[in-house]
């Protein structure tokens, strides 16, 4: 899992930077920015760990997350203006993060003995709820409720993973297909402005 | 408990529809509507399960909730306009839901070995916090903080249950009296516009 | 720990009153005020207990918190106008509360076998997240994200505690030094209008 570990850390870094940039835009102070960077990066995985009962939650036990997030906050504090110009690179890392977080969430939920539909939902929660908590704490209506297809990409990728495992493909094949699907849908959705219908 | 099971599912359906209708009104997309329907229906019970340590939380283990909520979302997506005209029926289901959720929350908390006052609070949390989380995620001040007596109905019903059990009535008698009390207070409160004093 | 117990209860009372006064200002009804008083007083400790897996959360098992908070709500309901004039005394209790909550959170996290950096963060979460949840539920941007140095005081005090323990000072010495540091930074920050830089 070393390869996925690197992707996980890249995703965490991208999420932390995106959170810190949001805080910068909202004119929060350094502490506010740190909290927003943290909840963006680990909010989804934390909610998943709490709901499935994997306590203490992952980032408390695995120190790497902490230092990656602190790095993201520091980078944004000193080079925020420069990072804002790197939007495209950050966006790529962010998309990688979403795909990898969905995968990790799905596998952790299955490992906890829960059903495939629940695992698909928990994978998606892992990927998107950090952003939902970030927006809620910033007193905004969560962006993802209004115009974004990326949660749907996670649900579709998760469902594909479950089907491939059911058809006896190896977990690695299923994981790669899933991550590729989520990234492809996300990128196509942005290019062609796909949207979900309104409720 | 088959009878209470049916009431629980009816309540869950009513809460999911009420959440999806809120999302419709806020012009959320389908994913946003699904999240709001979910948190409205299972938010209160989820918070209770987390606080008392019953993990994984109930709806992850009991698949029925998932499908009832998906049904509620689907119904609202296709027949939302029609459902809005059925307000009175939905309101009845909703009132049933509140009463039954209070009962389930109270019994689960007592079963976890916690005290009666805590159980009354956790019963009320089960019934009302789904709506609080719905409003918070929708970037609204929770309705229930400003003008509604239904949380008070839950507290009163829960207290009655505790007193009846203390007086050695059977759990079934206490449960029926509690559910009837909550429904009666709720209906009277709406008819006669009862309100709590301001803080 | 009797002395810290008294400080804990004083802090809880101060937090509950501060929550109830906020609700009064927002024109919430009595139920809304009770919820806001509760989450202000026990929100931080509850989040900490959930994240580190100490379930059921503390205030469900330890009835004293419940009654202290109910006392705070009752006092504010009947003598809110008078309490608002006692701002300075309340502010002192509040500062005591922050320092003691940081200490308790830090010690509980270390006792759960987690690392010192995580314990410093969880101590700060214990002290400040009640206010963050209060502001979020009241549909406000959390005050602490914008202009307040008190979370930073908690982090500094927590770090000092960890260093003193590492240097083999007794827990009591470290605790007293920590509480004194947090209170001193807080009081100086208010007097000299210290602020963190913006993100």
Q: Do A60 and C144 touch (CB under 8 A)?
A: no
Q: Tell the burial category of B190 from Cβ atoms under 10 Å away from its Cβ (0-12, 13-18, 19+).
A: middle
Return the exposure string of C40-59: e unless at least 16 CB atoms fall within 10 Å of the residue's CB, then b: bbbbbbbbbbbbbbbbbbbb
Q: Do C146 and A28 touch (CB under 8 A)?
A: yes
Q: Closest residue of B to C59, CA-based?
A: B118
| Cβ neighbours of residue B124 closer than 8 Å, sequence gap 6 or more | B102, B105, B151, B154, B155, B158
Any domain includes B84 = yes
Any domain includes C66 = yes
Q: For B16-24, what is the mean pLDDT? A: 89
Q: What's the pLDDT band for A122 if we cut at 50, 70, 90? A: very high
The whole-angstrom distance between residue A33's C-alpha and the CA centroid of its chain comes to 18
Any domain includes A93 = yes
Q: Closest residue of B to C48, CA-based?
A: B51
- pLDDT one digit per residue (tens) for chain C, 199 residues: 577 788 888 889 989 998 998 888 888 888 889 999 999 999 999 999 999 999 999 999 988 999 999 999 999 989 888 888 887 777 788 888 888 899 999 999 999 999 999 999 999 999 999 999 999 998 888 877 876 778 889 999 999 999 999 999 998 899 899 989 998 998 888 888 887 777 6
Enter the ipTM: 0.90
Pick from B136, B140, B146: CB nearest C32: B146
Q: Do C66 and B152 touch (CB under 8 A)?
A: no
Number of residues that make up chain A: 199
* Counted domains in chain B: 1
Any domain includes A196 = no
Task: Kindly state whether B197 is in contact with chain C, defined as any CB-CB distance less than 8 angstroms.
Answer: yes
Give the angle B39-B43-B47 at the CA atoms, nearest 5°: 150
- Mean pLDDT comparison of A141-155, B84-98, C155-169, C176-190, highest-scoring range: C155-169
Any domain includes B123 = yes
- Total-model pTM: 0.93
Beta bridge partners of C198: A29
- What the block records as the tokens of A142 is 């969560």
Q: Quote the minimal CA–CA distance from C83 to chain B in Å.
A: 13
Average pLDDT score over chain A: 89
Q: Closest residue of C to A56, CA-based?
A: C52
pLDDT the model gives residue C1: 55
Q: Do C199 and A136 touch (CB under 8 A)?
A: no
Which site among C60, C63, C71, C134 would you substitute to test the B interface, given the most B Cβ atoms closer than 10 Å to its Cβ?
C60
Q: What is the DSSP letter of C198?
A: B
pLDDT the model gives residue C146: 76
Instruction: Find the radius of gyration of the CA atoms of chain A.
Output: 16
Region of C27 please: left (phi>0), alpha (psi -120 to 50) or beta.
Answer: left
Give the angle C121-A144-A81 at the CA atoms, nearest 5°: 60
Any domain includes A197 = no
Higher-scoring residue by pLDDT: A69, C198: A69
Is residue A22 scored above 60 in pLDDT? Answer: yes
CA distance A34 to C143: 14
Residue-number span of the structural domain to which A179 is assigned: 2-191
Any domain includes B86 = yes
């Amino acid at each position: 899992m070393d390869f996925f570990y690197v992707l996980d850390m890249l995703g965490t870094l991208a999420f932390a930077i995106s959170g810190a940039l949001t805080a910068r835009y909202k004119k929060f102070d350094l502490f506010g920015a740190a909290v927003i960077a943290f909840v963006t990066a680990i909010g989804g995985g934390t909610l998943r760990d709490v709901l499935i009962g994997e306590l203490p939650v992952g980032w408390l036990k695995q120190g790497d997350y902490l230092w990656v997030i602190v790095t993201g906050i520091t980078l944004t504090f000193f080079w925020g203006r420069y990072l804002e110009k790197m939007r495209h690179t950050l966006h790529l890392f962010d998309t990688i993060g979403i795909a990898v977080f969905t995968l990790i969430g799905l596998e952790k939920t299955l490992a906890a003995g829960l059903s495939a539909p629940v695992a698909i939902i928990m994978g998606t929660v892992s990927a998107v709820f950090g952003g939902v908590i970030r927006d809620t704490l910033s007193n905004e209506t969560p962006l993802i409720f209004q115009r974004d297809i990326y949660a749907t990409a996670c649900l579709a990728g998760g469902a594909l993973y479950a089907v491939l495992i059911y058809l006896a493909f190896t977990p690695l094949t299923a994981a790669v297909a899933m991550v590729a699907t989520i990234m492809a849908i996300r990128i196509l959705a942005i290019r062609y402005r796909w949207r979900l219908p309104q409720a």
